[in-house]
Amino acid sequence: MTRRRQKQWVLLLDIGNTHTHIGLSDGRGVVRHEDMPTAYWREGKAGRRLARFHPSAGLAGVSLCSVVPQATRLARRWAGLSCGARFCELTAGSIVGLGVDYPRPETIGADRLANALAAKTLFGAPALVVDFGTAVTFDVVDAGGNYVGGIIAPGLSAMTDYLHERTALLPRVKIRAVRRFLGRSTAEAMRIGAVHGYRGLVRELIGGLRRELGAPGLPVVATGGYARLMARGLPEIRKVDPRLTLEGLRLFFQGTTVGSR
């Protein structure tokens, strides 16, 4: 009788400006995920939250990407003191499975590289990833499987928050789907401007990239908090994968593990 192979749990940490996206991989996919405020690292709460998510004693490794240097240092320290598992940080210098054709690779956000790696591996190349986070990022993988650049624009919630914070009478609104274009209240008018207007921004940037690259059929994969909402009105987006960045971290960890043998 053959013995069942024990699962190798890997903790995945995507540290963004607002939220840290936490995932758990069993080696074949992301089986669980949730978010916590990135401020928890600074406030000393991250370790307890992660312990509730999965006991560190049962982990084979930690795979991390981060755009917040202070939180990165705290995550490294947590992993060294509390976890004891293999720690892999995705950067332009450490990534495997994805070429990087970019003038200053060290300036690329690590989450953008994770997205590109996942898109290439899961959906093929060329591909365009649109990540609806605090900022919305557009990242291109060329036909040769290389990250070649992209676009950064303000995020959807950043736009509506800015209107609220910089005006006396405009409220803070919760973004949700809208069908009409004629607003019958201030909040509705703001939602229409945000949702429909933002789709226009995304559509124009996708079209511009396709024209510049000479790839009118360039496949588009969306991820991030507002990906499903935006994709409903954007036929250009072929696939929505909310866990794309975490999948990139999973694939990165697997690649570094294989490379170290």
The domains of the chain are located at 10-89, 99-247
Name residue, tokens 């009105």.
233
Q: Classify domain 99-247 by CATH architecture.
A: 2-Layer Sandwich (3.30)
CA distances from 77 to 45, 70, 84, 130, 230 (A): 14, 11, 10, 31, 37
Q: CA-CA distance, 219 to 6, in Å (whole number)?
A: 37
What's the pLDDT at 89? 96
Q: CA-CA distance, 232 to 8, in Å (whole number)?
A: 37
| Catalytic residue list contains 142 | no
% of the chain surpassing 70 pLDDT: 95
Q: What CATH fold (topology level) applies to the domain 10-89? A: Nucleotidyltransferase; domain 5 (3.30.420)
Q: CA-CA distance, 122 to 119, in Å (whole number)?
A: 5
- The pLDDT tens digits for 74-118 are 999 998 887 777 899 999 999 999 999 999 999 999 999 999 999
Three-point CA angle 142, 100, 134, nearest 5° = 85
Which one is catalytic: 26, 35, 101, 111?
A: 111
- At residue 37, φ and ψ (nearest 5 deg) are -60, 135
CB 72 within 8 A of CB 234: no
- The pLDDT tens digits for 136-184 are 999 999 999 999 999 999 888 888 888 888 888 888 888 899 899 999 9
The predicted model scores a pTM of 0.90
Q: CA-CA distance, 80 to 75, in Å (whole number)?
A: 9
CB 60 within 8 A of CB 256: no
- The pLDDT tens digits for 201-211 are 999 999 999 99
10-89 and 99-247, same CATH topology: yes
